[in-house]
Chains A and B, each alone.
Chain A
């Protein structure tokens, strides 16, 4: 069953519009919350007048920061940059603080929640929000991270001197500096890896319910980590027993990292549901999302590559300023540091490497993960450098990559920055990609395009991406406050049907199908008898959620292990019934049997029934069949691959057509090729968006200029051709299935490959993303005049 391209079973409910999302949940008696957001990038709140709002029709509550100051704790941050000094706003529990549920005394970014209104209808809540009057005393605003580090910059947090959250480093500084100083060839680049907005199509939503009879809280929420959020909300924000909070994240309409974070609306709807004795619902708008949900990327970098004249890379160095916005998000500082910094050597064996990141607070929306986060930024800088290096020494960029890639026989490979690449064959993937794209006759393709008046460019991006997050102890050293294992529970019913309950949370990755495939594969039973439960903290064993391309390799391994344990017990039970040795029991496609003794046959369901009755079991054997597994991987896994983009440039207008896109990805053992194909295609398009059109832009006041889909462009179906996809399969040694991450890996090289292709077409050193036709046109103009 594993490895088959089964159309996901959950898709039926999506295609019929019957699958329920958080915003579709409206229990009887629901009240509706609206949030008033700051219009200032930085200001002191002098006075909030809520009297008029409170008197509006249908209004049941108006809440400001002062009202909840002693009732709700600030949001926590649970990923502190590892191993370095760091500074955070305070939190009463001693963990770092990540901003208030509603602003206290000061606002620090436009979009920060300042007040909440609850009314009988969303329309009434909206009207009342308009009636809240706030007197602000505007303070100076800083939006640029390097400016925020200067002596004269406005200060955002009393506990964070100089706005510096952390200065984080990894690698061998002296060795790297020495190698650069001694190098025959040195390539330097200034990079702005622009801020982009995750923009899942479903805006965030939360519905809080409180049962006065039991004291139980229930939160329906758009979360990619419901168990984590349950813990953080109950213990560190609401201060209620863990036992009293249940989270349900039915179906989540995309996330790409952004729904793994705590947001003010989550505790607010719970708090207000209890206060008002009725369910309280909040659903964000698109512009609300764009102004307050975490955003991604946003590194400003100075990067250096050193090498020999004959193509051997000897060192790479990255100095980065990460703009994490006004507050640390739930795990923002970790995303900005280790995931990026340790990844800069990419698939290459480089003797000396060093990365340093200044993590800086400014008056913009908080930063978090976005599909491929950290790794995409690392890939971009390295692969831009490699292309420049190849050009500088007059070598083919593919040849330089092949020359420097970690050879197949060198695995496991320590990249010197903290990652130990598990397994790989980087050169084979690149060669395969080059074959697909027709690299050997690329000059003829170029000539043919030139005859049509167009400039053709080819861009390669080879990558390796740390995924399968992760080994809990290792993650603790990275500063993660929490485990990163994953869980599965398999319960075999007396009928032989299976209830498989998982701890990870789909935001579009077809978990109900793929996880059932794993169990069906091990148990050799039909998919139809397996039901997958998920997304409800009351039903599922604890889990960590979906991020860092971990669900299949980490959560799937838990399923695999649980199913394996079920088989072990069933075999033992069957052998006892058959009165033979376990080693004499055969099991094939749901039937236990003993060779040459045809009367000794039992189906999977027979054995399940036997264990359900519990009669005459083997002495010492417990009745029933149920296994729960908590799987903590030995290490991360490292999917890899090479993408090659071919673009054509219209010389008159600078218009860019991606005419061909080859992706060869290796995510180890593939669970469901149809699902993986979907993840790869979507990932590439996400990267294409960053390369060609997406950018969150703030003005000097901290105003987001791109706060709706009229001003922020995202890829449409017309923006790309069908892709040419292939894969190699190099299993990971760190889990039974040999699986590696695949949910976001193809985003990692996509923006880079397209950028490299455009630079190649234009013959320019660099061109910053997003690469608009005008930028291309200007580059062409400059070439003409020079």
Chain B
């Protein structure tokens, strides 16, 4: 079945069986392997991408269902080679990734959090992360990183930052 969508701002078109999952289209057909697969039942969050601007698990969407949508993957939010955006940079500074497998999904999920809530509290961050499982970090370094982004947002807004 012919399917057309926009991936990372670029029109994409592929012939897929109806049962092909969006994540398989992204990884296998389009070669965007930054999106990972970690489970079958929607819990792990390694396959999180943005569909029409909101985060979604691409293993729980048929490729044909994504017809006409705008999909953004980790490749689509990266800056120039070797550079990190503020969220990625904070995750780097805090060592918010260890094996790296859950990381692209985490980054996509947290990107939406920061878009909706530029200064999230620790509770808000932890609650938001329920859709992403990480077996390495215990999440703390990830939470610290997001708090750091929030503090930087405060600093840029000229707000006092309690130290």
User: Which listed residue (B24, B44, B92) contacts A201, Cβ 8 A?
Assistant: B44
Q: In chain A, residues 234-266, which have Cβ atoms closer than 8 Å to a Cβ of chain B?
A: 251-256
Q: In the complex, what's the smallest C-beta–C-beta distance from A535 to chain B, in angstroms?
A: 13
User: Which listed residue (B24, B28, B82, B138) contacts A682, Cβ 8 A?
Assistant: B138
Closest to A688 in B: B138
Q: Quick one: CB contact mask for B36-69 with A, threshold 8 Å, 1 for yes?
A: 1111110110100000000000000000000000
* Chain A count of residues within 8 A CB distance of the other chain: 60
Residues of chain A within 8 A (CB-CB) of B95 are 7-8, 11, 510, 674-675, 677-678
Q: In the complex, what's the smallest C-beta–C-beta distance from A627 to chain B, in angstroms?
A: 30
| Known contacts A12-B92, A17-B78, A714 near B135 by CB under 8 Å | yes
User: Which listed residue (B17, B100, B129) contacts A13, Cβ 8 A?
Assistant: B100
Does A15 lie within 8 Å of B138, measured CB to CB? no
Answer yes or no: B84 CB below 8 A from chain A CBs: yes
Does A16 lie within 8 Å of B84, measured CB to CB? yes
Residues of A within 8 A of B (CB): 7-8, 10-21, 23-24, 26, 122-123, 199-203, 251-256, 283, 285-287, 507-510, 674-675, 677-679, 681-686, 708-710, 714-718, 720, 722-723
Report which residue of A8, A253, A508 has the largest number of chain B beta carbons within 10 angstroms of its beta carbon. Answer: A253
Does A286 lie within 8 Å of B40, measured CB to CB? yes
Does B135 lie within 8 Å of A199, measured CB to CB? yes
20 A-B pairs (CB sep. < 8 Å): A8-B95, A11-B96, A13-B100, A15-B88, A17-B33, A17-B34, A17-B74, A26-B28, A123-B20, A203-B38, A677-B95, A681-B137, A681-B138, A708-B40, A708-B41, A716-B126, A717-B132, A717-B139, A722-B143, A722-B144
Q: How far is the CA of A685 from the CA of B138 in the complex (A)?
A: 5
Q: How far is the CA of A677 from the CA of B134 in the complex (A)?
A: 16
| Known contacts A285-B40, A682-B138, A17 near B104 by CB under 8 Å | yes
Does A253 lie within 8 Å of B104, measured CB to CB? no
| Known contacts A678-B141, A684-B138, A717-B142, A508 near B40 by CB under 8 Å | no
Residues of chain B within 8 A (CB-CB) of A287 are 40
| Known contacts A13-B100, A202-B99, A508-B136, A709 near B44 by CB under 8 Å | yes
User: Which listed residue (A14, A15, A286, A678) contacts B39, Cβ 8 A?
Assistant: A286
Closest to B125 in A: A717
Q: How far is the CA of A255 from the CA of B135 in the complex (A)?
A: 9
| Known contacts A286-B44, A685-B139, A716 near B130 by CB under 8 Å | yes
Q: How far is the CA of A202 from the CA of B104 in the complex (A)?
A: 13
Does A14 lie within 8 Å of B100, measured CB to CB? yes
Q: In the complex, what's the smallest C-beta–C-beta distance from B160 to chain A, in angstroms?
A: 22
Does A17 lie within 8 Å of B35, measured CB to CB? yes
Residues of chain B within 8 A (CB-CB) of A681 are 137-138, 140-141
Q: In the complex, what's the smallest C-beta–C-beta distance from A124 to chain B, in angstroms?
A: 10
User: Which listed residue (A7, A201, A507, A708) contacts B102, Cβ 8 A?
Assistant: A201
Does B138 lie within 8 Å of A202, measured CB to CB? no
Does B88 lie within 8 Å of A202, measured CB to CB? no
Closest to B122 in A: A722
User: Which listed residue (A16, A23, A253, A286) contacts B88, Cβ 8 A?
Assistant: A16
Residues of chain A within 8 A (CB-CB) of B125 are 717
Closest to A685 in B: B138
| Known contacts A123-B17, A200-B99, A681-B138, A714 near B133 by CB under 8 Å | yes
Does B136 lie within 8 Å of A15, measured CB to CB? no
Does A12 lie within 8 Å of B84, measured CB to CB? yes
Q: How far is the CA of A456 from the CA of B78 in the complex (A)?
A: 46
Does B37 lie within 8 Å of A256, measured CB to CB? no
Residues of chain B within 8 A (CB-CB) of A510 are 95, 98
Residues of chain B within 8 A (CB-CB) of A201 are 36, 38, 44, 46, 99, 101-102, 133-136
Does B100 lie within 8 Å of A253, measured CB to CB? yes
Closest to A725 in B: B140
Does A716 lie within 8 Å of B97, measured CB to CB? no
Residues of chain B within 8 A (CB-CB) of A251 are 99-101
Closest to B46 in A: A201
Q: In the complex, what's the smallest C-beta–C-beta distance from A745 to chain B, in angstroms?
A: 14
Does B33 lie within 8 Å of A20, measured CB to CB? yes
Answer yes or no: B91 CB below 8 A from chain A CBs: yes
Residues of chain A within 8 A (CB-CB) of B135 are 199-201, 254, 256, 682, 686, 714
Residues of chain A within 8 A (CB-CB) of B15 are none
Residues of B within 8 A of A (CB): 17, 19-20, 24, 27-28, 33-41, 43-44, 46, 73-75, 78, 82, 84, 88, 91-104, 107, 122, 125-127, 129-130, 132-144
Residues of chain B within 8 A (CB-CB) of A677 are 95, 141
User: Which listed residue (B17, B43, B91, B132) contacts A710, Cβ 8 A?
Assistant: B43
Q: How far is the CA of A19 from the CA of B107 in the complex (A)?
A: 14
Q: How far is the CA of A720 from the CA of B95 in the complex (A)?
A: 19
Q: In the complex, what's the smallest C-beta–C-beta distance from A660 to chain B, in angstroms?
A: 14
Residues of chain B within 8 A (CB-CB) of A718 are 126-127, 129-130
Q: In the complex, what's the smallest C-beta–C-beta distance from A646 to chain B, in angstroms?
A: 17
Q: In the complex, what's the smallest C-beta–C-beta distance from B99 to chain A, in angstroms?
A: 3
**Given A17-B75, A19-B100, A199-B135, 19 new contacts (CB under 8 A):** A16-B34, A16-B74, A17-B33, A23-B33, A201-B44, A201-B99, A201-B135, A201-B136, A286-B39, A508-B100, A681-B137, A681-B138, A682-B137, A709-B39, A709-B41, A714-B133, A717-B139, A717-B142, A720-B139
Residues of chain B within 8 A (CB-CB) of A14 are 97, 99-100, 103
Report which residue of A17, A287, A678, A710 has the largest number of chain B beta carbons within 10 angstroms of its beta carbon. Answer: A17
Q: How far is the CA of A200 from the CA of B43 in the complex (A)?
A: 14
Does A15 lie within 8 Å of B91, measured CB to CB? yes
Residues of chain A within 8 A (CB-CB) of B141 are 677-678, 681
Does A17 lie within 8 Å of B73, measured CB to CB? yes
Q: How far is the CA of A7 from the CA of B27 in the complex (A)?
A: 29
Does B38 lie within 8 Å of A286, measured CB to CB? yes
Q: In the complex, what's the smallest C-beta–C-beta distance from A377 to chain B, in angstroms?
A: 20
Report which residue of A21, A507, A681 has the largest number of chain B beta carbons within 10 angstroms of its beta carbon. Answer: A681
Q: In the complex, what's the smallest C-beta–C-beta distance from A412 to chain B, in angstroms?
A: 33
Residues of chain B within 8 A (CB-CB) of A286 are 38-41, 44
Residues of chain B within 8 A (CB-CB) of A285 are 40
Q: How far is the CA of A100 from the CA of B74 in the complex (A)?
A: 40
Residues of chain A within 8 A (CB-CB) of B38 are 201-203, 286
Q: How far is the CA of A708 from the CA of B133 in the complex (A)?
A: 13
Q: How far is the CA of A710 from the CA of B60 in the complex (A)?
A: 14
Q: In the complex, what's the smallest C-beta–C-beta distance from A508 to chain B, in angstroms?
A: 3
Residues of chain A within 8 A (CB-CB) of B107 are 15, 17
Q: In the complex, what's the smallest C-beta–C-beta distance from B55 to chain A, in angstroms?
A: 15
Q: How far is the CA of A686 from the CA of B82 in the complex (A)?
A: 32
Q: How far is the CA of A682 from the CA of B97 in the complex (A)?
A: 11
Q: How far is the CA of A285 from the CA of B59 in the complex (A)?
A: 12
User: Which listed residue (A7, A685, A715) contacts B92, Cβ 8 A?
Assistant: A7
Residues of chain A within 8 A (CB-CB) of B126 are 716-718
| Known contacts A709-B39, A709-B133, A723-B140, A17 near B99 by CB under 8 Å | no
Does B41 lie within 8 Å of A15, measured CB to CB? no
In the A-B complex, list the 4 residue pairs whose CB atoms are closest, starting with the nearest: A17-B34, A14-B100, A253-B101, A508-B99
Closest to A513 in B: B95
Residues of chain A within 8 A (CB-CB) of B133 are 201, 709, 714, 716
Q: How far is the CA of A557 from the CA of B39 in the complex (A)?
A: 38
Residues of chain A within 8 A (CB-CB) of B129 are 716-718
Does A507 lie within 8 Å of B73, measured CB to CB? no
Q: In the complex, what's the smallest C-beta–C-beta distance from B8 to chain A, in angstroms?
A: 12
Does A11 lie within 8 Å of B92, measured CB to CB? yes
Q: In the complex, what's the smallest C-beta–C-beta distance from B103 to chain A, in angstroms?
A: 5
Residues of chain B within 8 A (CB-CB) of A723 are 138, 140
Residues of chain B within 8 A (CB-CB) of A253 are 36, 99-102
Q: How far is the CA of A306 from the CA of B133 in the complex (A)?
A: 42
| Known contacts A254-B101, A686-B135, A123 near B19 by CB under 8 Å | yes
Does A678 lie within 8 Å of B46, measured CB to CB? no
